[in-house]
Structure 1
Amino acid sequence: MQQPKHLLQLFSFSLICLICLHYLLVPTNKGYGIQETGSAPSSGTEPPIEGQSSPKPIPSKNFMGTFSPTDPPAPFVTIRVRVSAQASPNDELEYRILVENHSPAEAHQVRIRNNIPTNAKFVRASPPPDSLEGELIWKLGSLPGNSSKEIKLVVMVTGTGEVDCISRVQYEHGQAVKTQLASPLLLKMTGPIQAMLYDTLSYQIDVFNTGNSELTGVQLTNIIPEGLEFLTSKPSTNGENPLVWNIGSIPGGQSKRLEFQAAVKKTGEFINKATVTTSSGMKKETSSKVEVGEIKLALNMGGPDRRNINRPASYQITITNSGNQIVRGIKVSNKLDPSTQFLAASGGGRYENGEVKWLIPQLAPKQRQIVQMVIKPTVAGTLKNRTEVTADKIPTGWQVEKITVFEINNGLVTEIDKSIDPMEIGEQTALTIRLINYGQNPIKNLILTAISPDTTVVTEGRGPTNFSRQPDKVGFLPLPSLEPGKEVTYSLFLQAKKPGDGTFRLEYTADEGISGKAEETISILPSSKAPASNEPPALP
């Protein structure tokens, strides 16, 4: 009796094992098989349809395989309606209709359609509907991403039974794409970006056919701006503005070059504009901009107003580049009067055939250079000391002159020399004052007073005796004696404070009723904020 029971248990265990093995090896979507739910379809595919094969994924690249677009987010708009669950006849029911855009993308042409609820009549709505014919319609237009819009609809119950209300939302979503057609026609212009007045400018224009087919009816037009004047071209054209070249055909993969020259007649900014067209309607444009500056040199000359003959007279010549272009090849010359003798020159100046000459290789914009010369007059009279300056690429030069009266004086004679003349605001000049006794007797108790113009301020003084200083005046204590044929030297330092010409005055007194005065012009220019490339050294 025990053996059959044992066999029955063994059979049941074997059957259970077979059933488990069957379900492990043969999974199914029906019955007791394992089923995945809630899985989203893979990106770029449509959900599978039963009985059909899965669709192919949407390609992520175009047919050329060079561009991988990323689709922008799509709008997702829903509508929710809330209203009281119970009402009585003649009651007002308020429907709250909420339209929500759950996506960051904007939804367009949003429309709300709502039937007029059954067993009720329309009372009001906020906002009012755009249409009341047959059904209520609200045209909301665009609904920004992650935003909502609420509509309040009020109706009055007019009958018995249920009040049915159906709200629907409609909106548009689309994508715009563009395919750019590559043109085989290319145009390039090469020209200078900076130039100076009266320069000759050279331009090159290249027309390229980057395709495989021939381009026909190719025509190039170039408009020369006012301020430039056409000179010549290769190949030639009639020279009328605009310039026109009928190129004809350009085979695939080849190019055509045209060249022309123009002269600069004005300063400013000028743009050459070139256009190329073909018989098939292709068109390309390009341009080349050039900035033309003018050479401008400011020239000043300083020196003594009066001087005794046979005494050294020093002159300073200041050349400033006041333009916006580098000036090269600057030549400075001063032709001496036959009645004067050359003594010295600074800054590499040389004396040749009665003329003092300097060569300045170049001056950058706002840069200046000061040169100096010393001459000795031998004849009394009024001398116009004239300096001329020329530079490369300019048709005319500049001139400046300084007038000095050369005299024959006996007794006590004064001389005033300036280290910088003219000055700029903020600069300082050293005045060297000499008192010379041309008389036969000593001059006793010589007192000297110096008065500066209101364009300057006295910063320091030096002399053989002590002195007292005020901003515009310096007084020296008496010099006991100045012997015949001797001279005494005083120094004053003046700082320029405002532009203009002013008069520096000297007054002196001595025993035996000796007195006199001397004057010298102090010229001050506005600051150019330009460093001097070479300050003049001290000359005898």
Structure 2
Amino acid sequence: MDGLLMCTKTLSLLLCICLLVISGCQESEQTAPPQQAPLAQPVVQPNLTSKIYTCEACPVVRLDTTMPVQVQAGTEFGYTIQVTNLTDEVVTNVIVTDVSASNFQPVRSNPPHVIDQNKIKWIFPEIGPRQTVQIDGVGMASAGGEVVNYIDVTYTAPVRLRTISLQPKIVITKSAPAEISACAPILYIFKVENIGTGPANNLRMYDTLPQGLTTSDGNSSIDITIGSLPAGKSRTYSVALTAARTGTYVNNVVAIADGEVTAESGEVITIVRKPVLQITNTGPETDYVNMETTYNISVTNTGDWPAIDTVIENILPQGMRFVRSQGGNLTDNRVLWKVARLNPGETVNTSVTLSAAALGTIQNTVTASAVCADTVTAIASTEIKGAPGILFEVGDTTDPVRLDNATTYRIVVTNQGSVPVTNIVIKATLDTAMNLVSNVGATKGQVAENGIITFEPLTWLAPRTQAIWEVTVKSINEGDIRFETEMTADQLTSPVMETESTHFFK
């Protein structure tokens, strides 16, 4: 038979006072007459029978039996049957059959027997290599005379058709940074291991990336053909990814191979973070020429990743002069501040002081930038105005003065400001003891009867210039004589008064 050699041999053994031995495929028997013993003392040496079952290319089984030489009718007696597998292979379906004499009655046995159509049977599913099984039976002769039992054994000896089934088992792991800057590549590392007993053929690894992640060539998935992976081997792959935005990315990777072999990694979570700069730049809405104008600058990292190498830059507006800064350095026409690390939530505050040389609206622009952070800009507008700075001075050229001599009062108006002064009007009031000698100056003066000299308006006095008027007088009285002056202009809200005292003597 294909795949199975069946060797079955049946032998009837005569349980008597002889010993039967059969070897090979031939049978040889030796029988010795039983020794006679007095009836009062029966011989207790049992009859022994042994037979070996063989066939070509088959396992061999030996059958050994023992039974008393004489027994008393109606009295129980014991007997044994041994079945031995003489080979290194398993024999199966072993059945020992006892065809008993009509005057033999089985009582019990170990292992238990079964009765099948007047046959006593013991069934063994298998007997291992070199293994012996023993049947201990108890029977009884129901009548006098010779008790003859015929015992045989049948078995099968299958030929093993053997192979080894190889089973690949794939384990795949995936690792990635738990958190990373949005400007850095995200490195996925995949490790594929075959911990099974056979190769994994046509092995492929597939990773569908979460929305927002792409490979360096713009793909939204990773598909790697590994091929055959022998048992006990592993391979490692790395793929660099780019995140389109900040946030949390979660996914896993799947490996498949022939034979419906699959493996899936656990979920890998990567949080992409980014520094976000916020800047403010505040200064006065209005200021004046040649005055110090200070701008306060504040930069805050409102993101969730440190801002590295933050640079704050203030380019000097045209017409503005650098005065000083808080911790900044002036390079050409720029003021620079550098912050090595600005952690999330931290703020750096600084200031710069400038001075305007001309009128107009100044746009002071400040920018902040850092690694991986978008550049931010803040503009502060300041209207630079001019201010009239009017200096009004009155003084006499001679003091004290003899009554016969004259003194001159010098009236000087200086525009110290940055815008012109317009419509300057000078009035001089003479003391009643004074006699007017002359008046000259930037504009012509008119003398009234009450002794008040009014000079015509000076329509324009440019910044950093002067206007001068002179009034010469004599006194008719001794003593402290007063010369009073008054100035008005468009830029003044009220007149400016000056009084000069002169001492006259004889």
User: TM (normalized to structure 1)?
Assistant: 0.40
Determine which structure has the larger strand proportion and give its number.
2
Query: Bigger radius of gyration, 1 or 2?
Result: 2
